[in-house]
Amino acid sequence: MHNKVIGPFSFTEKSITTKIYLDLLQLFIAPQLEEFQPWIMFQHDGALPHWGSLVHDFLEETFPDRWIGRNGPTPWPPCSPDIILLDFFFWRYIKERVFVTPIVDIEELKARIQVAVCTVTEDMLKNT
């Protein structure tokens, strides 16, 4: 997985709840990761929707002892450059491309995010 970006899966105009996040995990993320089982470690951060009991139970069932997150088998380490590569490379890279000029509307923002994610190469991911 160190050489592949999966997503973005969806854009929503409303706040992400535990139920919406669970749907995202069940419908989009888990199916994309099936080919990497049982070797993958799933990681998410400490955002409130990520640690509802429904999400916790789903992760325990889908990635038993192989997920990183709040109250998980491996605790989420905030601000750890060794493990939180999204914080230290990916999001910075995406933001630099998305916000290079002012954004007119939400549709332009979505389009820029999709284009920016598509510019991430396999070599870039391997070197992070």
pTM > 0.75: yes or no: no
As a whole number, mean pLDDT of residues 88-93 equals 81
For the stretch 38-58, pLDDT in tens is 788 888 877 888 888 999 999
For residue 96, the model assigns a pLDDT of: 94
Residues 64 and 119 in one domain: no
Q: Are residues 65 and 102 in the same domain?
A: no
Q: Check residue 62 and give its pLDDT.
A: 92
Pair (87, 69) in one structural domain:
no
Reply yes or no on whether the pLDDT at 16 is more than 60. yes
- Rounded to the nearest integer, the mean pLDDT of the chain is 82
List Cβ neighbours of 32 (8 Å cut-off, separation of 6 or more): 6
Q: Among 77-81, 106-110, 122-126, which is the least confidently predicted range?
A: 77-81
- Residue the block writes with tokens 């009991």: 53
Query: Helices marked H in 1-128 — which ranges?
Result: 18-24, 30-33, 53-62, 85, 91-98, 106-118, 122-126
22, 85: one domain: no
Overall number of domains in the chain: 2
Judged against a pLDDT cut of 90, whether residue 9 lies above it is answered with no
Domain carrying residue 33: 1-78
